[in-house]
Amino acid sequence: MSSLSHKSPPPPCAIVIFGANGDLTKRLIIPALYNLARTRLLPPSLSLIGVDHNKKTSEEWAAQLKAFLAQTLTRNNEEVDEALWQQVASCMTFLSGDFEQPDTYQRLKDLLAELDEKQSLNGNVLFYMAVADRFFGTIAGKLGEAGLVTSDAKRFRRLIVEKPFGHDLASARALNACLLKYLKEDQIYRIDHFLGKETVQNIMALRFANGLFEPIWNRDRIDHVQITVAESIGVETRGKFYEATGALRDMVPNHLFQLVAMTAMEPPVSFDAEDIRSKKAEMFKAIHPLTLSDVVRGQYDSGIVGDEKALAYRAEANVSPESTVETYAAMRLSIDNWRWAGVPFYLRTGKRLSKRYTEIAIRFKQAPHALFRETPMEELDADWLILRIQPDEGIRLRFNAKRPGPAMALESVAMEFKYKDYFKQAPAVGYETLIYDCLIGDATLFQRADQVEAAWALVEPVLEGWANTTPRHFPNYAAGSEGPSAANDLLARDGRSWRGIK
């Protein structure tokens, strides 16, 4: 796992982007490469090849990407730095081709050989599948058949796979089998942009580099853990995609479970990628199988988000007016190991909630009350450690302190650390660290095949149960609210409640 400060540029290589004209390339990949140029972390010799079905020249492709980058930077009151942009643009070559045709891969092979000879790339290639998931198996297979993913001690050939890593357990296993037919596991980088965020990476530093926290990071001191990924936006233009996916498939087996893994994993023997990924895999094996009583689903109705009216999900474009697809999911996880036995993990994610934010909130057990009999229980709040992932990345510790005055009255106060206050951060879209790690071969922040399949195995009973039962009260929460009341009941039956989304 790499922090980008004090790092050396990666080795010379070619980066091949399948889906060169797609939204992901424009919004995240090219801005990330531009930002790596800003921090002098692009390979010293680089060739950037875009593959897509459109007919255009390399110059037209570069101009279109520059125009989109300029729009993005303008929103942040920046302008394109011409010198930095030229570092990226001068490397760009566009190859028009159909992803399903063998001829595309033969022409790509010839182009890579030509550029390698001109630029001394040492045979290193990073393939990026920035395409719809239906092409993952096709592209991997065609690359394998063309002999483009053969790696050895002298050169690397790596493949980045975007989520979703399947739509259920069977499809995840099929995708992994397809990828592993042509590549070794250490060549495959399954990317999850959540893991590129500083606060997520900081979880391990917080736990393992501080004698203050690791001794209390267990069932003796922690009452429960809440993980929230809240979005204020609706499905926007993705109605067709969402109708086939839903909140649980879209967010839980990847984003939320990765946050659980970072929080709950046992200490690794080193920060080697395989040691860390093995500890994550062990954690997934320890999670107790989910039942329908452990989960809640919801769908948003019309309402007010911020100061604007919001449509109901069923009124969104490309959504069935009788849709039973969930836009909200909450669940209770139990981890059956020594560290976490009896400590529930509560997870929730949803669209059209009151605010956009992501946090991991760790509630410590209440101190004995004998000394504070005169203090009302509602004022004697328990201690919280809150890891804010977005927006305003940082860490907050809440604890009780005496309120000034003659009486022994307590009040909850906070100590807070924000990244923006302590560190000068280079502009980032969240993919810089992940792409850099792929270029240097550090797989710490990427999922292994067994993790992917273990995550899908956990939610498979829920997906099957929901498929066989029709939700009775959809829509069941207003846009701009904190979700369905049934989610509150999920915690209330344990004598707990959600932190407010604020």
Instruction: Show which residues are catalytic.
Output: 255
| Token output for 226 | 């809440």
What is the DSSP-derived secondary structure letter of residue 404?
S
In whole angstroms, give the CA distance from residue 324 to residue 262: 32
Contact, 455 vs 251, CB < 8 A? no
Measured from the Cβ of residue 391, the count of other Cβ atoms closer than 10 Å reads 10
404 upstream amide cis, omega within 30 of 0: no
CA distance 382 to 378: 10
DSSP codes, 225-239:
EEEEEE-SS--TT-H
Spell out where 419-459 has E strands.
Answer: none
Q: Cα angle at 141 between 139 and 147, to 5 degrees? A: 105
Q: Which amino acid makes up residue 265?
A: M
Integer CA distances (angstroms), 171 to 366, 432, 442, in order: 44, 29, 26
Q: CB–CB of 356/391 below 8 Å?
A: yes
Pick from 179, 184, 185: nearest CA to 165 = 179
CA angle 22/23/28 to nearest 5° reads 115
- Count CB atoms within 10 A of the CB of residue 310: 22
Measured CA to CA, the distance from residue 363 to residue 483 in angstroms comes to: 21
What is the distance between the alpha carbons of residues 361 and 119, in angstroms, rounded to a whole number?
49
